[in-house]
Structure 1
Amino acid sequence: MTTGRPASLGQSVPAAGPRLLDAHLVVDRDSFRLDLPLTIAPGEVVALLGPNGAGKTTALRTLAGLLPLSAGHLTLAGRDLDHPVRRTWTPPERRPIGVVFQDYLLFPHLSALDNVAFGPRRHGLDRRQARDLAADWLTRMGLAEHARRKPRELSGGQAQRVALARALAVEPALLLLDEPLAALDARTRLDTRAQLQRHLAAHAGAALLVTHDPLDALVLADRLVVIEHGRVVQEGDAATITARPRTDYVARLVGLNLYRGYADGHRVRLGDGFELTTGDHHEGEVFVAFPPSAVALHPRRPDGSPRNTWPATITGIQQHGDNLRIQLVGPIEVAADVTPAAATQLRLAPGQPVWAAVKAAETRAYPAAPG
């Protein structure tokens, strides 16, 4: 994976090395403002994540030329595509950008071959050249035998690969992928993700993946950019973000409990006065994080090694992989993962009081201040 430097809260980290995409996307829409610095290097895949309403779709539409910038700039391969101050704007069809939409948007009246040939024809190739190129791309996608089929005759995974071939056939400097796996069932998604990873690795240009799915981002992207309320809240490689989330959204994304407080040595006082003991020594504002699997539940206050124990009440129980995820309220809100056997033994149910325990060694504390 290409690594990015760890980001401070609210700051953007530029891609290492040369920048194929160099943009500062500022878009005002009613009361919402997108303010997103974004750079992508050649061959790099960047995932743009964030909750609903964070600005992901606005960013993608702006890059594609479907929305103009209010301010900032958009430069791709050294060419200004959108620069309000210079009164420069390039229409979508003249941008060296390929897009794979969530619903693929294949032309229903065209065969798979002619869907892929459409872009090359628009770029000046004659019908035979465009079809030869399209046939080559369908072969690369493992779809040669489906060349004459219409979109309605394709499975979801096949349609996704046709859409990807159509986007790549014009050799775009920037490839935009809008939730490209969201419409697929779980089995097809697994296989198609592996194929997409292979094709992205072979793409020489820049790629931006817009997704809600953390697994898609972690598997496919070299670098993650997380936005909330139109601004970057964290950026870096998967290891950095997984180890040190900086907002509640990012913590939930990577499956961690996250709290902010004031550290005095190994003790961290949270805002409501509750204290956690951690294995790390710090002074000042810190985040404390630990996985749900680190939380043990007991019918009574436990004796022994745990340094952090507190009474809690179960508010919800959901299936989470092979385990059950237990939502708890008390001095702090916390998620705990337990096995079905443990849940049965403890007779866990919503409304039930329990004791929660986390060992200090299972927690991570790190500075909350930028930098």
Structure 2
Amino acid sequence: MTGPVLDAHLIVDRGTFRLDVPLRIGAGEVVGLLGPNGAGKTTALRALAGLQPLTAGYVTLGGRDLDRPDRRLWTPAERRPVGVVFQDYLLFPHLSAVDNVAFGPRRHGVERRAARQRAADWLRRVGLADYARHKPRQLSGGQAQRVALARALAVDPVLLLLDEPLAALDARTRLDTRAELHRHLAAHPGATLLVTHDPLDALVLADRLIIIEEGRIVQEGDAATITGQPRTDYVARLVGLNLYRGTAAGHTVHLGSGFALTAADALDGDVFVAFRPAAVALHPERPGGSPRNTWPATITGLQRHGDNLRVQLAGPIAAAADVTPAAAADLHLAPGQQVWAAVKATETRAYPADAPPATAGAAESAR
């Protein structure tokens, strides 16, 4: 078969909310679907799984139409070649691991003995052959996640849907399970859609990222494109950048209210400009020296951020700055304190804002 395994245009109306997302996924491709709460990620997943009828649009999987409202065509969930791993796994508490995995094939019409044999084989593949008789309450979080994955893959799905598959795990288990999941996804011949809030999960597991906000795609591309050139406030926060929108004239980007930044890139017209919080230096007085961007700022918040402190700044522009604990102590940083912020032009990147207008807030910083 040529063309994408999944070819869909998901249009779902729910009250005043409309999901309108075109979606194509190729064979062996993993697509990460990200967005803030209420963006429509779960609605998209439910529409593909057959748990939420489309208002308009279509879902075609493996060349077969599953949902076309204009033709009154609707395929229920149990008849779709789709495997789903839910956030809470939804394992049947009264069934053993092998019977949980066998449930999928049995639901698709496989005879009981053959279904159990297939389930046993999948438990072996995910490293749980010795846990076949265990009930869900006897499994760790990572083991339960692998049983849920085996159950989804045991139906030989053309499309695999993963709904926050690592969210319920602690940090150490999450690290190990992410690596295990990556191995299984690499071997899956069908299409995979990963719905997640975690940028690290998406960057490690997905080949391509789609960002949705308010029911529509606002950015799409590989990890390097998304992380290097965010186009909305949400994406900037996701990848840890300060982001602004303005008008460029050469190396100068005018952001409004009379404030301008000097960028390393020379452009003209509508642009985004971004820099890392770690590129922001804080000073008790206005710094001198080499030409760079400087502005007076007020500290509005301090939080631990990895090995550093994340300082939230208000002023002509709102920004986040990362400083070491030693630097914070030397400057006696505290909420309400007045400081000067500085960013070298060489640390400031500008790029054309040639995508469709983003959601409100894209012209502000990644707070």
- TM-score normalised per structure 1: 0.94
Map Cα deviations across residues 109-157 of structure 1 (whole Å, 9 max, x no partner): 0000100011112223222211111111111111111110000110000
Q: How does 1:148-167 map to 2 (within 5 A)?
A: 148-167=133-152
Q: Tell me which residue corresponds to 1:271.
A: 256
What SS does the corresponding residue of 1:37 show, helix, strand or coil?
A: strand
| SS at structure 2 position matched to 1:25 | strand
CA deviation vs aligned residue, 1:316-342 (integer Å, no higher than 9, x gap): 111111111000000000000011111
Query: What is the alpha-carbon distance in structure 2 between the residues aligned to residue 183 and residue 313 of structure 1?
Result: 38
What is aligned with 1:3?
A: none
How many aligned residue pairs are there? 355
| Equivalent position of 1:289 in the other structure | 274
| Equivalent residues of 2:286, 2:340 under 8 A apart | yes
Distance 1:76 1:215 in 2: 28
Cα contact 1:306–1:358 (8 A) shared by 2: no
Match of 2:158 in 1: 173
Q: Which amino acid counterpart does residue 260 of structure 2 have in structure 1?
A: E
- Runs of 4+ displaced beyond 4 Å: none
The unaligned stretches of length 5 or more in structure 1 are 1-16
The aligned counterpart of 1:216 is: 201
Query: Is it true that 1:358 corresponds to 2:306 in the alignment?
Result: no
2:39–2:214 CA contact under 8 A, matched in 1: yes
Answer yes or no: is 1:104 the counterpart of 2:63: no
How high is the sequence identity, in percent, across the aligned residues?
78
Give the alignment partner of residue 122 of structure 2, picking from 132, 137, 145.
137
Aligned-pair CA distance for 1:18 = 2.4
1:256 aligns with 2:254: no
Confirm or deny: 8 A CA contact 2:253 2:261 kept in the other structure. Answer: yes
Q: Which residue of 2 aligns with 1:12?
A: none
What's the offset of the Cα at 1:370? 2.8
Letter of the structure 2 residue corresponding to residue 276 of structure 1: L
Classify the secondary structure of the residue corresponding to 1:177: strand
- Given that 2:30 and 2:208 are in contact with CA atoms closer than 8 Å, whether structure 1 keeps it comes out as yes
TM-score normalized by structure 2? 0.95
**Structure 1 residue 347: Cα displacement:** 0.9
> What residue number does 2:295 align with?
310
For 1:272-327, what per-residue CA distance to the aligned partner results, in whole angstroms no more than 9, with x for missing partners? 22010011101111100001010000111111124100000100111111111000
Among 196, 217, 220, the alignment partner of 1:235 is 220
Distance 2:275 2:102 in 1: 51
Deviations 1:17-64 (A, max 9, x none): 720000000000000000000000000000000000000010001111
